[in-house]
Amino acid sequence: MAIAESFTIDTRAEQRLARIARLCTALTMSGFGAFVPLLRLLAGASPRAELPLLWRGLGVPLVAILVFLLAWSAVAPRVETSLGILPGPAQVWNQAIGLYDSHLAERAKETAFYERQAKKNAELLAADPQAEVKIRPYTGRPTFFGQILTSLKTVFTGFVLATLVAVPLGILCGLSPVINAAFNPLVQVFKPVSPLAWLPIVTMVVSALYVSDDPMLPKSFLVSAITVTLCSLWPTLINTAYGVAAIDKDLINVARVLKLSWPTKVRKLVLPSALPLIFTGLRLSLGVGWMVLIAAEMLAQNPGLGKFVWDEFQNGSSDSLARIMVAVFTIGLIGFLLDRLMLSLQAVVTHSAQR
């Protein structure tokens, strides 16, 4: 009996360690390897080995953030702007809570609106089963969290379009010196162009071509997404071309000897070899796209974070500056999480771990 109990305890311990090991692997692959020493400590690892790693990975960044917050709190009251004194961390946090409360209040209004509409339609159908009922969309003001979702939809639309253009074109440029020579001047000319320069052109083209009484997508959304595409495709294109061109020539010769078709060669040899650099380009493109999006939304008036910042700036109330700073930190945090997302995807596809 004691042997059976000991075996059960050992099995449970092994299962627990296996779960922690899997979690450590997942954290490392997603770029959150700084938390791994903490998990190892909880699993019973040697503190002498793990504490220095934990201090360097988590302790130092937390101390740096604390110093930044203290310096911000000390300097903010001394800075006078046209909208009042520069808000400190406490004021910014209060505005963040206020934006969250406003979001909840607006969602409650939306729920009540649809409930009233459903009740009215039910009464109409009860009086006349043949009556035509309509479900009208809620047209309340957008909330901060709704604007975050709008920005995410816009940037991913632009990023996907950029990827669909940049990766195939990069493969062609990497495989063919002639095609690379043809496209290289165009890439070098258009790569540094600002989104503020693209936006008027994109706006006029979309307004001329996208004419509909009942458009499926708002013009402001299309203008912002296409601007993101035009500004973010270059890092992926350049890195893909470089990664494909750097493939071991022996692999290309093997493909010739085996008489592989062009699609098979790309699928079996080119893409697996170039994937690390392709993902490097994708990470850079997504970061560029997220930065470009805010400026594009400001001018195109797409109801995302860029428009939120612009509206608060135009509002000019005593709380506007704190709300703008909430948006700034939100933009930075989302950009960080998007980068971690791409790191995780890269680790899964290329079987590499990132820290």
Question: For 51-98, how does the pLDDT look when each residue is reduced to its tens digit (9 = 90+)?
Answer: 887 788 888 889 999 999 999 999 988 888 777 788 999 999 999 999
The sign of the dihedral angle between the CA atoms of 185, 186, 192, 197 is: positive
| Lowest-confidence segment of 47-56, 103-112, 295-304 by average pLDDT | 47-56
Is pLDDT above 90 for 282?
yes
**Average of per-residue pLDDT across 130-142:** 81
Is pLDDT above 90 for 124?
no
Is pLDDT above 70 for 3?
no
**Average of per-residue pLDDT across 112-125:** 85
Residues found in the chain? 355
What pLDDT shows up at residue 355? 47
pLDDT digits (tens, 9 = 90+) for 308-322: 999 988 887 778 899
Q: How would residue 274 be classed by pLDDT, with cut points 50, 70 and 90?
A: confident
**Angle (CA) 33 35 40, round 5°:** 105
Is pLDDT above 90 for 139?
no
Query: Residue 95's CB: how many other CB atoms inside 10 A?
Result: 22
| Lowest-confidence segment of 22-31, 223-232, 238-247 by average pLDDT | 22-31
Query: Residue 43's CB: how many other CB atoms inside 10 A?
Result: 16
Percent of the chain whose predicted confidence (pLDDT) is above 70: 92
What pLDDT shows up at residue 324? 92
The sign of the dihedral angle between the CA atoms of 248, 250, 253, 258 is: negative
**Average of per-residue pLDDT across 329-334:** 94
Q: How would residue 123 be classed by pLDDT, with cut points 50, 70 and 90?
A: confident
| Lowest-confidence segment of 15-19, 62-66, 98-102, 163-167 by average pLDDT | 15-19
pLDDT digits (tens, 9 = 90+) for 24-64: 777 776 667 777 777 777 777 777 777 887 788 888 889 99
CB contact set of 269 (below 8 Å; sequence gap of 6+): 247, 251, 252, 254, 255, 260
Q: How would residue 10 be classed by pLDDT, with cut points 50, 70 and 90?
A: low
Across the chain, what does the average pLDDT equal? 85
Q: Which two tokens stand for residue 35?
A: 């938390």
| Among candidate residues 322, 312, 328, the one with its CA nearest the CA of residue 87 | 322
| Lowest-confidence segment of 125-134, 137-146, 301-310, 325-334 by average pLDDT | 125-134
**Average of per-residue pLDDT across 150-174:** 94
Is pLDDT above 80 for 214?
no
pTM of the model: 0.84
What pLDDT shows up at residue 15? 67
| Among candidate residues 197, 153, 158, the one with its CA nearest the CA of residue 288 | 158
What pLDDT shows up at residue 351? 64
